[in-house]
């Protein structure tokens, strides 16, 4: 099917008819025919200054950026792009910011005015203002491609918000209720290792679109937590769901998102039962990926804690040889490449070089540091650690001869 578009003339008068904001249950306008905030859309993110700028443009009869709506089979519409502008307009006209508070805007630099406070002539001018709207009709993939194209200005949407655009339905409504609330977010609360001290397992990094967003709730509201849970879940069954959109497409019309929610709960429960003492480094680990790899294996949590204590002790005294990020997976897998650097650092080599009196440990001759190599006393292949205690400085000839002799043995 080829994407079809039309450009109906929509006045603010027609847009605001039947405007109703029911919070999480959705926002309707245009005589109830326009779903302003479908389940996939983010919550209202405009600041008061942003809303004021929208209305200043309308007040001065300046053009607003185009809006994009999708038409449904029953003839109703959904907003693809323009939710923030539509709600800004409707909030001002109805004199309600969504929380029952009136809205007054400084239009002339002298005083602030509500819509009702404007002259009848100015009210009519605003209500007759024509909005530039494109209405599209096409397949899910066509609309998603179009959405990516138009998402280039204003308060841009995250990748997950863009994906949500094509997979609205009962599953997404349920998933957002669990993962996407800004306040009292159930998924965030579950992921606190210690609810009293708010010691969390989560670290939702904002991308270049979001910048510095602040709290976990802000980021969850922009769908980063839902995206993280989906990335973990898709990794668990890559052959079935190679991409997030494949998972969402299959489950779109499920009655609820319990399968994903239960998976997330299982991940968190597994972490808490496997690693019994919280450390700040637990925040932001890819726990779902580790769960997918290792949850079917049995572990002794006392032994795991002992391994971690030992690693952190070494890291505190001689950190250069270790890769801290890999501690948890190493404890689960035993793969030493996850935590140990193969080569000694410059600092380690210099310290051992000074302790040896700047002499080769074998031939006892003086050398410049650049003419020597760091050597593992206990070979790295035999479990030797890349620490100062396991390092000798050898001249290059002695180092070559040592390994040649070992190969002959």
Q: 1: pLDDT confidence band, cut at 50, 70 and 90? A: very low
With residues binned 3-state (H G I as helix, E B as strand, rest as coil), the percentages for the chain, rounded to 5, are 45, 15, 40
Residue 221: which pLDDT band, with cuts at 50, 70 and 90? confident
260-287 tens-digit pLDDT = 999 999 999 999 999 999 999 999 999 9
Per-residue pLDDT, 154: 47
Indicate if the pLDDT at residue 358 is higher than 90.
Answer: yes
- Among 123-127, 159-163, 261-265, 383-387, the minimum mean pLDDT is found in 159-163
Task: Tell me the mean pLDDT in the region 359-377.
Answer: 96
Per-chain mean pLDDT for the chain: 87
**CA–CA separation, 82 and 84 (whole Å):** 6
Residue 2 has pLDDT above 80, yes or no: no
The reported pLDDT for the residue numbered 212 is 65
Structure confidence at residue 247 (pLDDT): 95
Instruction: Look at residue 70 in the predicted model and tell me its pLDDT.
Output: 83
Q: Which pLDDT belongs to residue 407?
A: 77
Which pLDDT value is given to residue 159? 80
Has residue 371 got a pLDDT over 90? yes
For the chain, give every residue range classified as CATH 3.40.1800: 342-409
Binning pLDDT at 50, 70 and 90, where does residue 40 land? very low
Question: Cα(164)–Cα(247) distance, rounded to whole angstroms?
Answer: 12
Residue that wins the pLDDT comparison between 354 and 198: 354
Least Cα distance to 222 among 144, 157, 283 occurs for: 157
Q: How does pLDDT run across 151-201, given as a tens digit for each residue?
A: 654 456 678 877 887 787 889 989 999 999 888 899 999 999 876 778 999
Query: With bands split at pLDDT 50, 70 and 90, how would you rate the model's confidence at 46?
Result: low
- From the list 227, 64, 209, the residue with the least C-alpha distance to 151 is 209
- Residue 337 makes CB contacts below 8 A (sequence gap 6+) with none
What confidence tier does 146 reach under pLDDT thresholds 50, 70, 90?
low
Lowest mean pLDDT among 73-77, 133-137, 153-157, 213-217: 153-157
Residue 192 or residue 211, greater confidence: 192
**In the CATH scheme, what is the code of domain 342-409?**
3.40.1800
Least confident piece of the model among 8-17, 42-51, 249-258: 42-51
Q: Specify which residues 132 forms β-bridges with.
A: 9
- Report the distance separating Cα 169 and Cα 138, nearest Å: 18
């Amino acid at each position: 099917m080829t994407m079809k578009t039309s450009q109906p003339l929509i006045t603010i008068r027609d847009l605001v008819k039947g405007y109703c904001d029911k919070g999480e249950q959705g926002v309707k306008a245009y005589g109830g025919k326009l779903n302003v905030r479908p389940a996939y859309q983010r919550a209202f993110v405009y600041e008061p200054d942003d809303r004021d700028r929208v209305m200043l443009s309308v007040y001065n009869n300046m053009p607003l950026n185009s809006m994009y709506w999708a038409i449904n089979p029953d003839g109703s519409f959904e907003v693809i792009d323009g939710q923030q502008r539509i709600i800004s307009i409707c909030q001002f006209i109805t004199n309600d910011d969504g929380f029952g508070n009136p809205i007054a805007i400084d239009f002339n630099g002298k005083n602030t005015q509500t819509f009702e406070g404007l002259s009848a002539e100015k009210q009519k001018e605003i209500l007759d203002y024509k909005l530039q709207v494109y209405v599209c009709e096409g397949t899910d993939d066509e609309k998603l491609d179009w959405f990516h194209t138009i998402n280039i200005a204003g308060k841009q949407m995250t990748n997950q918000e863009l994906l949500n655009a094509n997979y609205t339905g009962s599953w997404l409504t349920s998933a957002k209720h669990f993962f996407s609330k800004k306040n009292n977010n159930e998924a965030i609360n579950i992921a606190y290792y210690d609810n009293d001290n708010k010691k969390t397992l989560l670290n939702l990094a904002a991308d270049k679109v979001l910048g510095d967003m602040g709290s976990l709730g802000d980021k969850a509201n922009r769908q980063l937590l839902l995206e993280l849970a989906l990335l973990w879940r898709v990794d668990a069954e890559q052959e079935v769901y190679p991409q997030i959109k494949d998972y969402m497409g299959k489950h779109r019309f499920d009655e609820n998102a319990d399968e994903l929610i239960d998976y997330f709960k299982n991940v968190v429960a597994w972490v808490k039962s496997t690693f019994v003492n919280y450390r700040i480094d637990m925040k932001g680990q890819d726990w779902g990926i580790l769960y997918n790899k290792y949850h079917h294996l049995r572990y002794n949590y006392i032994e795991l804690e002992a391994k971690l204590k030992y690693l952190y002790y070494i890291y505190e005294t001689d950190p250069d040889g270790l890769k801290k990020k890999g501690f948890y997976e190493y404890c689960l897998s035993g793969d030493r490449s996850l935590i140990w650097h193969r080569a000694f650092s410059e600092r380690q080599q210099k310290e051992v070089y000074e302790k040896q009196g700047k002499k080769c440990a074998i031939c006892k001759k003086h050398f410049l540091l650049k003419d020597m190599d760091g050597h593992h006393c206990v070979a790295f292949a035999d479990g030797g650690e890349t620490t100062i205690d396991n390092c000798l400085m050898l001249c290059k000839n002695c180092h070559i001869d040592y390994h040649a002799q070992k190969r002959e043995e």
